[in-house]
Structure formats: C-alpha cells, structure tokens
C-alpha cells in the first residue's frame, strides 16, 4: 500500500495538473503581467532614442521587460513599427488590441513613442485568379493612397495624446519598400498630400514625419533605389515641403567613425548634414530632423561591420556629436534595441539586448552614459 504522505502528494499533483490544464484550455498566459506604478525616464540626454521591434512579440511580459530595459538605459523615446496590415486586416475594421498593449506599457514606462506606419493588408492587394501569387508586403499601389490615408487618420485619432509623431511609410527612396516597384518621387509626394491632412484631422497635434530616407548612392534610374540627396531635392521640387512637419532620416555609420566628414559620395553618420543643407536651401530651416534609425554593426564576418569596441565608441561618439552640433536634431534613434527572435545573420549584431534578454556590453555603456549622476 502507498504510504499516506505519497498519496497526499499524488493527490496534490493531480489537483495541480487539473488547474494547469484548465488554464491552458482557457488560453490564459503562463506569466501574469501587471502595469505597476507610472515610471519616469532618468536621463541626461533627452535626444537618445531606440528603435524597438515589439509588434511581433507575442508574450506580454517580454513587451514589458523590453520597455523596462529601455527606460532603465535612459532612452526617453522609442520608434515602433505599427503595421497597417495587422491593425486593419479586414477593410474598415480596426483591431487595436496588440498595438494598445505596446502603447500602454511604453507610456507606463514614461516613454515617448514615434510610430512608423506601413505594410499593406492582404485585402488591398490586386485581384488575381492564380492562388500561387504572392505579393510583396510593401506593395503600395497608387490606388491605395486614400485607403492608407484613412488608416493613418484612424491611427492618429485613436492615439491622440499617446503618440507624438508618425512616420509616413519607410525608406521611400528604395524599390524594396515599394514592393519592388520603381522609385518615383512623385508617388511619395502624392502619398504625403493625402496623408498630411488626414493625420491632422485625426489629431491636430501629431507631428507628421516625411522621409525616413535610406542612405544610398544608387543613381537616378537604378532599379534598386535613388540616392537620398537626389530624392530629397526631387520631392522638394514637387512641393513636398508643405506636407510634412519634420523630416525622418536614417544614418548608419558602416565602417566609418562618427566624425568622418560628410561628402556626397560617402555613406557615413554625418551624411545627415547634407540632408539638412538641402532642407535649409528649400526653406525648411525651422523644421526638425528625426534620425529614426542609426548605428553600427559588430558582426565578426560582415564586410560592413566594425569591432565590438569600435561599435561602442562610435555609438557614444555619434550621440554626443549630434547633441553638440545638431541643434536641429530632435532625436537620434539606435537600430535596434532587441528583436523578438534571432535572425541568425548579421542583423543580430545591431541589437543592444538579445532575444533572451542578455544585455550586451554596449547596453551597459549606453546606460552609464545616459544616466551619469542619476540613481541606478
């Protein structure tokens, strides 16, 4: 006969198993998350910013933990991607549940949010009789401009008072970001013309960011993209300046130090200064620049990477250079804080924190820099 103490233990385990099975049957998560008290970001560098990648994160605790680490590092602002395809999967019906989760936790951590809006929903793709047809996720055709503008208006209205700025599309000077359609500055200007009044109708106070320009030396007529300097001049000539409140740009250092001087033929961090010069020449001296992606990569075998120590020094140097010399720069945002899962390729070496929440050395150095003289 089984001893009484073992029968008691077995009965307890059976009851526990029943409870666990019931929880699994209801679909409740294994980790329960509470918001906790509102937090304040302690930092000496308010322009510091990181690009998070939380929209594809499934577990709430991972969203919360990521944003806690951002706040603890001393970065008061995040850029987050909010895909049109996720929120309006059915035309005219908006599901804000997952984006609300991210926004709620970000604001609870005291973070300011810049929203990048893109990715085309399946219902918007061209009709086809071939079930094997697969459309690129960024295939924004000319007939979808009004649908995208309606989404942006709904987004701006829903997050009024919660999201400070929105980025209209992403890297429009690259063919890839148009679903491999040819780069056409006029099309982007048409998009801005539709989106700008719609966004401000949804939220009069929202800052509409044009651009998110990719640094590239592709010449006019290239099937891959268009030089960002040429592209910016083109959209200004087409009247784009009336349809954005500030400009978003990307500034990657590649193998060059942050103080490497700008030149039209160079892709380096200070290339942003050439962008700024075009803005000034176009009469937009009073508009801010948001550097919404930047950084260095320390992959051991990628030809455009630097050594880990260089990456740390260059990143700190870039933030300090921008803070000292770029009075017109609202934020400098590092790509990327953390991915939901490993890419198992060179992009992993842009992260500050790994998917399993291992803080890389660059995170600790940035934290010490941003929070100097602050309480840990």
pLDDT in tens, the chain (376 residues): 444 334 443 344 344 443 434 444 444 445 678 898 999 999 999 999 999 999 999 999 999 999 999 999 999 999 999 999 999 999 999 999 999 999 999 999 999 999 999 999 999 998 888 888 889 999 999 999 999 999 999 999 999 999 999 999 999 999 999 999 999 999 999 999 999 999 999 999 999 999 999 999 999 899 999 999 999 999 999 999 999 999 999 999 999 999 999 999 999 999 999 999 999 999 999 999 999 999 999 999 999 999 999 999 999 999 999 999 999 999 999 999 999 999 999 999 999 999 999 999 999 999 999 998 554 4
* Region for residue 196 given its phi and psi (left: phi exceeds 0; alpha: psi -120 to 50; beta: otherwise): alpha
Q: Is 85 a domain residue? A: yes
Instruction: Kindly write down the DSSP assignment for every residue of 326-365, as one continuous string.
Output: -TTEEEEEEE-S--SS--SSGGGGG-SB-TT-PBPHHHHH
Asked whether residue 311 is assigned to any structural domain, the reply reads yes
d(CA 301, CA 281): 41
In a domain, 24, yes or no: no
User: What pLDDT shows up at residue 32?
Assistant: 73
Asked if residue 144 lies in contact with residue 184, where contact means CB atoms within 8 angstroms, the answer is no
Q: pTM to 2 decimals?
A: 0.90
Question: Can you give the pLDDT at residue 41?
Answer: 98
Rounded Cα distance between 16 and 29, Å, is 16
Q: What is the pLDDT of residue 92?
A: 96
For 27, 110, 209, 263, 373, the CA distances from 230, given in Å and listed in that order, are 52, 38, 19, 14, 44
Instruction: Read off the CATH number of the domain in which 219 is found.
Output: 3.20.20.80
- The secondary structure of 279-314 as a DSSP string is HHHTT-TTS-EEEEEEE----SS-TT---HHHHHHH
The answer to the question of residue 376 being in a domain is: no
Expressed as residue numbers, the domain containing 294 is 45-370
Name the domain count of the chain.
Answer: 1
Q: Report if residue 40 sits inside a domain.
A: no
Q: 10 Å Cβ neighbour count for 158?
A: 17
DSSP state, 172?
T
- Is 13 inside any structural domain? no
pLDDT value, residue 108: 98
Contact 84, 128 (CB under 8 A): no
Query: Distances from the Cα of 35 to the Cαs of 28, 38, 65, 95, 178, in angstroms?
Result: 17, 8, 11, 21, 38
Q: Looking at residue 374, what is its pLDDT?
A: 53
Q: Is residue 1 part of a domain?
A: no
* In a domain? residue 33: no
Please answer whether residues 275 and 228 qualify as being in contact, where contact means their C-beta atoms are separated by less than 8 angstroms. Answer: yes
């Amino acid at each position: 006969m089984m001893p009484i103490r073992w029968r008691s233990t077995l009965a307890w385990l059976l009851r526990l198993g029943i409870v666990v099975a019931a929880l699994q049957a209801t679909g409740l998560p294994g980790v329960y998350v509470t918001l906790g008290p509102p937090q304040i970001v302690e930092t000496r560098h308010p322009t510091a910013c990181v690009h998070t990648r939380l929209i594809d994160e499934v577990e709430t605790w991972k969203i919360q933990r990521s944003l806690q680490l951002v706040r603890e590092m001393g970065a008061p602002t995040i850029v987050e991607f909010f895909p049109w395809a996720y929120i309006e999967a059915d035309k005219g019906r908006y599901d804000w549940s997952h984006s609300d989760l991210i926004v709620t936790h970000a604001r609870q951590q005291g973070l300011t949010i810049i929203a990048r809006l893109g990715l085309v929903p399946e219902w918007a793709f061209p009709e086809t009789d071939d079930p094997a047809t697969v459309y690129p996720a960024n295939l924004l055709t000319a007939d979808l401009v009004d649908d995208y503008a309606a989404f942006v208006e709904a987004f701006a209205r829903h997050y009024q008072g919660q999201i400070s700025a929105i980025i209209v599309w992403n890297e429009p000077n690259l063919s890839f970001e148009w679903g491999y359609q040819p780069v056409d500055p006029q099309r982007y200007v048409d998009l801005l013309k539709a989106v700008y009044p719609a966004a401000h109708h949804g939220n009069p106070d929202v800052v509409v960011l044009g651009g998110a320009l990719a640094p590239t030396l592709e010449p006019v007529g290239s099937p891959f993209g268009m030089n960002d300097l040429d592209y910016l001049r083109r959209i200004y000539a087409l009247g784009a300046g009336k349809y954005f409140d500030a400009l978003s740009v990307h500034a990657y250092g590649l193998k060059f130090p942050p103080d490497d001087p700008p030149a039209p033929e160079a892709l380096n961090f200070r290339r942003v200064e050439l962008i700024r010069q075009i803005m000034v020449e176009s009469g937009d001296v009073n508009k801010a620049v948001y550097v919404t992606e930047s950084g260095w990569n320390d992959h051991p075998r990628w030809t455009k990477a630097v050594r880990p120590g260089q990456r740390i020094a260059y990143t700190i140097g870039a933030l300090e250079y921008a803070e000292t010399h770029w009075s017109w720069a609202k934020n400098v945002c590092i790509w990327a804080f953390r991915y939901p899962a490993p890419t198992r390729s060179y992009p992993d070496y842009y992260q500050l924190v790994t998917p399993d929440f291992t803080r890389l050395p660059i995170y600790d150095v940035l934290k010490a820099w941003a929070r100097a003289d602050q309480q840990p």
